[in-house]
Amino acid sequence: MNTGDIYTANLSAEQREIREAIFQLCTRFDADYWLEKDRAGGFPGDFHMALAEAGWLGICIPQAYGGSGLGIADAAVMMQAVVETGAGFSGGSAVHMNIFGLNPVVVFGTEEQKHRMLPPLIAGKHRTCFVVTEPNTGLNTTQLKTRAVRDGDHYVVNGQKTFISTAQVAEKMLLLARTTPLEQVKNKTEGLTLFYTDFDRSRIEVREIEKMGRKAVDTNQLFIDNLRIPVEDRIGEEGKGFHYILHGMNAERILAAAETVGLGRAALKRAAQYANERIVFDRPIGKNQGVQHPLAERWMHLEAANLMVMQAAAKFDRGENCGVEANAAKYLGAAACWNACETAVLTHGGYGYAKEYHVERYLREAMIARIAPVSEQMIFCFVAEKVLGLPKSY
Ligand SMILES: Cc1cc2nc3c(=O)[nH]c(=O)nc-3n(C[C@H](O)[C@H](O)[C@H](O)COP(=O)(O)OP(=O)(O)OC[C@H]3O[C@@H](n4cnc5c(N)ncnc54)[C@H](O)[C@@H]3O)c2cc1C
């Protein structure tokens, strides 16, 4: 597939270099590496460390704390390339949290916190997880039940969390907990507090959730029992945590959307190659329009989604409100990715269902993007309300 120019035409010279360097680095982690990770599980620590050693984990972190100080558009190009090399979401999710996750610390942390928290993350010494979702509140985040109660110079935390990725290996966590009971706040978005602190396994029980795909990057239930967090690990003011988390959400959606385009491209590349090589009825199956057309259509949808990704990223980097574009990019990317992966499996016929052809793994991973970090329905609700002026429905 001759798409090199098409994929880089709108990138800056620096972004092209980022893309090339990532493809180069990832040659050490080929499709068979990820296939084995998907079979056996186990965090891809060597891959995470390789990206850290090459300085990639600090791409969005200001230079004053050891990062590269680049924008979210540059990070989107980087994360898209990681996934597109064939690493899929197994590779993307292994480092995703490092790239955007500490945005609340960068924006709302004190100088002392930034110097303490950011360099070990960039160096790959600290892996971190994002601890927000709860079993009984789902997408209705303001209702979360985990409590943090002030006790002198500490907070004592109790509660349950679920679907927390990388908790099996993380040294640190970004945790959202309620400090003021819901019935005592004027607005339900108040009274939630954000912490960046040690993942203290003597106080947190971690149970892995067996899931459909992305086995290399674990996802877990957490049971938090009298966890003591020092006050100096609180980010910003008490009670403002929800606003701090929201601040980073558009960036996360943009990166997640860029990754979906990467996964869809990886799937279509394999499908086109197979369609050129597989001979049935004395000709390559790709000579049949019934095989060609779905692939061409999936490609167009994917690249249209990518335009929305880059538009959202450009607005974010200019400091403009990009909520609508970031959500739209996440929806469009996830849908195009899912369809591309499904078509890639079907193009392979029976072999599409065999693990050694890789595309069934991509299809299983693609489902994640339709669910997390925000569901399709919630994006429809957001666009209906914010763009079309319809009443808030939830
Ligand atoms: C692989 C994976 C990794 C994850 N990693 C993390 C992580 O690291 N950290 C973390 O905090 N979370 C993580 N999550 C959680 C993820 O963000 C949530 O699963 C997601 O936000 C949905 O929440 P829920 O599963 O509780 O769905 P629910 O809130 O229970 O919703 C269920 C369904 O109902 C729909 N729905 C609910 N209310 C409405 C409404 N008013 N109108 C229309 N539809 C509605 C939803 O759209 C959804 O389809 C992960 C999830 C997965 C699958």
Q: What is the CATH number of the domain that holds 280?
A: 1.20.140.10
Question: Ligand 1: which of 209, 375, 383, 385 to mutate, judged by most atoms within 8 Å of the beta carbon?
Answer: 375
* Shared domain check, 289 and 372: yes
**Res. 202: pLDDT tops 80:** yes
Of 88, 168, 60, 106, give the one whose Cα is nearest residue 344: 88
In a domain, 394, yes or no: no
Q: Where are the alpha helices (DSSP H) in the chain?
A: 4-8, 13-26, 31-40, 45-53, 72-82, 88-100, 103-108, 111-122, 241-277, 289-317, 323-347, 359-371, 376-386
* Shared domain check, 250 and 356: yes
* Shared domain check, 148 and 259: no
Confidence at 247, pLDDT banded by 50, 70, 90: confident
**Res. 233: pLDDT tops 90:** yes
Question: Ligand 1: which of 130, 136, 163 to mutate, judged by most atoms within 8 Å of the beta carbon?
Answer: 163
Domain boundary among 197, 221, 242: 242
Question: Ligand 1: which of 99, 133, 175 to mutate, judged by most atoms within 8 Å of the beta carbon?
Answer: 133
Identify the pLDDT of residue 4.
Answer: 61
* Shared domain check, 179 and 102: no
Q: State mean pLDDT over 136-154.
A: 96
Instruction: Tally the domains of the chain.
Output: 3
* Shared domain check, 268 and 226: no
DSSP code of residue 388: T
138 lines ligand 1 (CB under 6 A): yes
Tokens of 165: 């990725």
Give the position of tokens 């959730």: 209
- Residue 49 to residue 46: CA distance in whole angstroms: 5
Q: State mean pLDDT over 246-264.
A: 95
Q: State mean pLDDT over 130-134.
A: 97
347 lines ligand 1 (CB under 6 A): no
In a domain, 380, yes or no: yes
Domain boundary among 242, 276, 306: 242
In a domain, 306, yes or no: yes
222 lines ligand 1 (CB under 6 A): no
* Shared domain check, 148 and 83: no
CATH number of the domain where residue 24 is located: 1.10.540.10
- How close is the Cα of 79 to the center of ligand 1, in Å? 22
- How close is the Cα of 2 to the center of ligand 1, in Å? 38
* Shared domain check, 189 and 159: yes
DSSP code of residue 392: P
**Res. 2: pLDDT tops 60:** no
Q: Rounded to whole angstroms, what are the CA distances from 36 to 27, 39, 65?
A: 16, 5, 36
**C-alpha triplet 312, 313, 315: angle, nearest 5°:** 65
- How close is the Cα of 235 to the center of ligand 1, in Å? 25
CATH number of the domain where residue 163 is located: 2.40.110.10
Identify the pLDDT of residue 244.
Answer: 95
Q: Which atom of ligand 1 is nearest to the CA of 376?
A: 47
In a domain, 392, yes or no: no
Spatial contact of 330 and 319, defined as CB atoms under 8 Å apart: no
Instruction: Provide the domain limits for residue 313.
Output: 243-386
Give the position of tokens 């990532």: 22
Give the position of tokens 């040659």: 27
Domain boundary among 224, 242, 260: 242
375 lines ligand 1 (CB under 6 A): yes
* Shared domain check, 261 and 167: no
Spatial contact of 379 and 331, defined as CB atoms under 8 Å apart: yes
Q: What are phi and psi of 162, to 5 degrees?
A: -145, 160
Give the number of other CB atoms < 10 A from CB of residue 82: 29
* Shared domain check, 66 and 52: yes
- How close is the Cα of 193 to the center of ligand 1, in Å? 21
- How close is the Cα of 215 to the center of ligand 1, in Å? 19
Q: State mean pLDDT over 115-143.
A: 96
Identify the pLDDT of residue 3.
Answer: 54
- Residue 284 to residue 272: CA distance in whole angstroms: 11
In a domain, 85, yes or no: yes
- How close is the Cα of 139 to the center of ligand 1, in Å? 5
Confidence at 22, pLDDT banded by 50, 70, 90: very high
In a domain, 236, yes or no: yes
Q: Give the total residue count for the chain.
A: 394
In a domain, 391, yes or no: no
Q: Which atom of ligand 1 is nearest to the CA of 131?
A: 11
* Shared domain check, 259 and 165: no
What are 322-375's pLDDT values in tens digits?
999 999 999 999 999 999 999 999 999 999 999 999 999 999 999 999 999 999
- How close is the Cα of 291 to the center of ligand 1, in Å? 35
Tokens of 125: 């010494």
- How close is the Cα of 133 to the center of ligand 1, in Å? 8
In a domain, 169, yes or no: yes
* Shared domain check, 377 and 299: yes
* Shared domain check, 77 and 137: no
The β-bridge relationship of strands 283-284 and 279-280 is antiparallel
- Residue 68 to residue 382: CA distance in whole angstroms: 33
Greatest Cα-to-Cα distance within the chain, rounded to the nearest angstrom: 78
Identify the pLDDT of residue 1.
Answer: 46
